[in-house]
Chain A
Amino acid sequence: MILQNLSIKRKLTLITMLTSSIALILSSVSFLIYDLVSFRNLLSQDLMTQAEIIGYNSAGAMEFKDEPAATATLSALTAKEDIVTAVLYKPDGKIFAHYFRGNAAFSGFLPIHLQKKGSRFEGGYLEVFQEVTLNGEHVGTLFLQSDMRQWSLRAKRYANILIIFVLVSGLFALFVSSKLQGLISKPILHLEDTMRMVSSNKNYAVRAVKTYSDEIGRLIDGFNTMLSEIQQRDTALQSTNGELKTRTQELEEEVFQRKQAQEELLKAKHTAEEANRAKSTFLANMSHELRTPLNAIIGYSEMLEEETRDTGKIENVQDLRKIQGAGKHLLSLINDVLDLSKIEAGKMALHLENFDVSQVIEEMVTTLKPAAAKNGNSIQVHLADSVNTMRADVTKVRQILFNLLSNACKFTDHGTVSVNVDQIKFENREWIQFQVRDTGIGISAKQKENLFQEFAQADASIARKYGGTGQLMKGQIWVESEPGQGATFTVRLPAQVVFEATENVQSESAGKIPAGPSETKTGRETILVIDDDPSVRDLMSRFLSKLDFHVVAAANGEEGLRLARQVDPLLITLDVVMPECDGWTVLNKLKSDSKLAGIPVIMVTVVDNEAMGLDMGAANYLIKPVDRDRLAVLVEKHRVARTSITDTDLVPLSYVAEGPAGRKTVGARVPKTRRN
């Protein structure tokens, strides 16, 4: 509807106008109708009266047949403008006299059937019949016809008056309502203006002015209250915003300062790390430097001891042994320092591989037999059935066990050192647990405290490095002991060590067996020693010769390669640090030559990088000064592997194994020629 979208002003005016006009018109029209109806009745009565008079007056004329007199009587109706026709009928229905207004012949219609008396409205005319009587005798009938000119004139006049009245009063109503509508529309328009001002300028300080205390007044009050609330909130919001901004700035400044501090810290850290690394590098280098002369000291003292013993100069043997012992002690100290520095420098890496636990134990026991025998100790091995292979850094495991066992042998006199190996389940994981028990002097509580500290006394030289090593493999170590009651060291390592950062897929060096038929030129096997250090060459030659090997030595890489092709040795020992062609190059060339690739290579060097050596194809990795017992075991192993295809005369190595199966034969085989 168009009406709905009109402004409130117009709506109010329109409503007022419509209402008043309708009321006015309705009342006027009803009044008009009432008046016209009653006026018509009046007219009709008037006409009847007229008819009576005329009828009375015409009676004589009718009776005396005086037509002119009757006509004259009728002519008196000229004064009555609305009478159109007047006719006197004789009793037989014939016209006696007539009158037509304005002398027009017949402006109306004459009735066909005469009535005695009465009035009727017919075809816009008012018609009246009047009986003319004389002394109660019917002498004729008078017919009067009126066009109600008066009535229609009156109606016309009334209609005009009504129109003018409605127009005038409408104008008046318009005037009044346009004045009065302001009472309602003005405050609303004012409210609207205020609202627009507020929303367009965002000025919440503006207030609408209340004019009256009606509903609109209350509306304005409510609006103002709302505005003041919004204003309050706006102010609060702004101040909060300002605070927030300040805080943000402060925070930014703080962040900036912290960043600077962090950078400084980072710099300091880098510097410290650099210094530490330099220290570690220095230590590592120093250890290497120290090892080379120690090599000679230990090697030659051992040689001398043997030769002296052979010549029967027993008194010198003791002295030589003391030199040898001191050398070895010094070596172990240096090794400790080296390992510690490596852990600190983060260079300690794990080289994970699968290996047979029983084999490692066997090697260990073989190696330590002489040390045990020295104090009159016996070594017992208990290997549980369930223990099979584990995945860990075999070198580290060996180191831990070696230290534990050698210590046990050292502090026990004429007793028993037992090794128990178990596979257990703990915290939902599979663990291999090694227990080394002795019946020696034991460890006091105070000693225990310092036991796993860094740089502890040589008595507890397993020190933290093993803890550290163990921890690298997520293992645990602890000791149970009472003074004089012996000691039990327990090491627990995961059966499957996972150490992603440094895990390397190792070549299964232990199981690597050179292909091709063995070729024995002489009764003795040939070993090629490649080292630029003449003392090492000398010592190795002498040691290996004693083990019934034929030794060929080369002073550099080139010569080594040439000799390797020439003599086709059982195995090759290779130094790394050599002038011109270093050990890595030689190893690479050996492994890339199809003829030579099958020859096992044992790296013998001061460079501690076993992982790299094994990666490049070396069978074993020994660090100088060479542990001669270990070298002997390794060399023996390779000889067995070489001859195993033809030589079946092997003696099984037996262990005392725990578990329901009782004694058990494990897979490793030891050649009968092995010396214990």
Chain B
Amino acid sequence: MLRRLGILIVALSVSLSGTPEAFAQAPDSRDSSEYLIKAGFIYNFAKFVEWPSAAFAQPDSPIVIGILGTDPFGPLIDQIVENKKIGARSFVVKRLKWGTDFKELRDCKILFVGASEKAHVDELVQIVKTLPILTVGETPGFAERGGVIRFVLEDNRVRFEVNVEAAHQADLTISSRLLTLARIIQQAAAETRKPG
């Protein structure tokens, strides 16, 4: 009994000490660890989202992850998705620039909109809103303006908002399991914000 109690206490202390440790790194090397997590999240989103079958040319067509604007991940995201597969699909990471790569922009299945493209959000939304592209941003109001997912930092933790309406317009099915973890954002807010 005592022995088991001892084991229990050890397990507790391990789990309690583990959790702060993981997040303690975030403030110290903010860019690297934050974007490591965000890169992981992007990969994870692919697991909970279903694209319409027409979106892919072939059943084993890769999932193209586009990074628009300044790349905050560096090689991290390439490392994460390397050799990863969802079903038969592998991942391809492409770095894109606003204005030049519109054609390639349309081929993306996940499009990360970097903070540098803050000014082009509305325009971008208008372009891709009916395309089966999961837009992920991090600028404030991204989801309200029509982006599907926006990363939020909350108590030093990475969280995300989901605009269900936008996902619906893009013909994307987002798993409820993902939704339970997200903050749901209304499209209406984006409409009212736009004229303002």
Residues of A within 8 A of B (CB): 56-57, 59-61, 63-67, 69, 73, 94-96, 98, 106, 109-110, 112, 134-135
Contacts and interface: CB of A to CB of B under 8 A. Distances in A.
Contact of A64 (B8, B15, B86, B181): B181
A109 B4 contact: yes
A56 B159 CA distance: 20
B15 A63 contact: no
Contacts of A64: 41, 44, 178, 181
Nearest to A135: B47
A60 B177 contact: yes
Given A60-B178, A69-B181, A110 B44 contact: no
Contact of B15 (A57, A65, A94): A94
Contact of B8 (A60, A110, A135): A110
B14 A94 contact: yes
Contact of B181 (A60, A110, A135): A60
Given A60-B175, A95-B15, A134 B181 contact: no
B127 interface: no
A312 to B, nearest CB: 185
Contacts of A106: 8
Contacts of A67: 19
Contacts of B177: 56-57, 59-60
Contacts of A134: 47
B18 interface: yes
**A-side binding surface: helix, strand, loop or mixed?**
mixed
Given A69-B181, A94-B18, A109-B4, A63 B11 contact: no
A71 to B, nearest CB: 12
Given A60-B175, A64-B181, A112 B7 contact: yes
Interface string B150-167: 000000000100000000
B180 interface: yes
Contacts of B7: 110, 112
A95 B14 contact: yes
Nearest to B86: A135
Contacts of B12: 95
A109 B4 CA distance: 7
A96 B41 CA distance: 18
A63 B14 contact: no
B98 interface: no
B48 interface: yes
Interface size range of chain B in the complex: 20 to 34
Given A57-B180, A95-B15, A63 B8 contact: no
A66 B182 CA distance: 10
A66 B157 CA distance: 9
A106 B22 CA distance: 25
5 contacts: A56-B177, A60-B178, A69-B181, A109-B4, A112-B7
A59 B48 CA distance: 10
Nearest to B7: A112
Interface of B: 4, 7-8, 11-12, 14-15, 18-19, 22, 37, 41, 44, 47-48, 86-87, 159, 175, 177-178, 180-181
Nearest 5 pairs of A and B residues by beta carbon: A95-B15, A60-B177, A66-B181, A63-B44, A69-B181
Contacts of B37: 65
B180 A60 contact: yes
Nearest to A98: B15
A64 B151 CA distance: 12
Contacts of B48: 60
A38 B87 CA distance: 40
B25 to A, nearest CB: 13
Contacts of B159: 66
Contacts of B175: 60
A95 B13 CA distance: 10
A552 to B, nearest CB: 163
Given A94-B15, A95-B15, A110-B8, A63 B180 contact: no
Contacts of A65: 22, 37
A93 to B, nearest CB: 9
Given A60-B178, A66-B181, A106-B8, 9 more contacts: A57-B177, A57-B180, A61-B181, A63-B47, A64-B44, A65-B22, A69-B181, A94-B18, A98-B15
A109 B6 CA distance: 11
A64 B48 CA distance: 11
A67 B180 CA distance: 12
A257 B128 CA distance: 165
A57 B19 CA distance: 21
Given A56-B177, A59-B177, A94-B18, A109 B8 contact: yes
Nearest to B19: A67
Contacts of B18: 94
A52 to B, nearest CB: 14
Contacts of B180: 57, 60-61, 69, 73
Contacts of B41: 64
A95 B16 CA distance: 8
Contacts of A98: 15
B9 to A, nearest CB: 9
A73 B48 CA distance: 18
B19 A110 contact: no
B172 to A, nearest CB: 16
Nearest to A137: B47
Contacts of A73: 180
A60 B180 CA distance: 8
A559 to B, nearest CB: 160
A215 B86 CA distance: 89
A127 to B, nearest CB: 14
A416 B12 CA distance: 177
A397 B40 CA distance: 180
A358 B175 CA distance: 178
A94 B18 CA distance: 8
Nearest to A61: B181
Contacts of A61: 180-181
Contacts of B181: 60-61, 64, 66, 69
A106 B19 CA distance: 19
Contacts of A56: 177
A439 B55 CA distance: 197
Nearest to B9: A106
A374 B77 CA distance: 208
Nearest to B177: A60
Nearest to A109: B4
Which of A56, A61, A64, A134 neighbours the largest number of chain B CB atoms within 10 Å of its CB?
Answer: A64
Contacts of B11: 95, 110
A563 B173 CA distance: 199
A59 B12 CA distance: 22
A108 B87 CA distance: 40
A73 B180 CA distance: 10
Nearest to A69: B181
A57 B178 CA distance: 9
- Of the listed residues A65, A95, A110, the one surrounded by the most CB atoms of chain B closer than 10 A to its CB is A65
A69 B159 CA distance: 11
B24 to A, nearest CB: 14
A131 to B, nearest CB: 16
A130 B15 CA distance: 19
A135 B15 CA distance: 26
Contacts of B44: 63-64
Contacts of A135: 47, 86-87
Nearest to A134: B47
A94 to B, nearest CB: 5
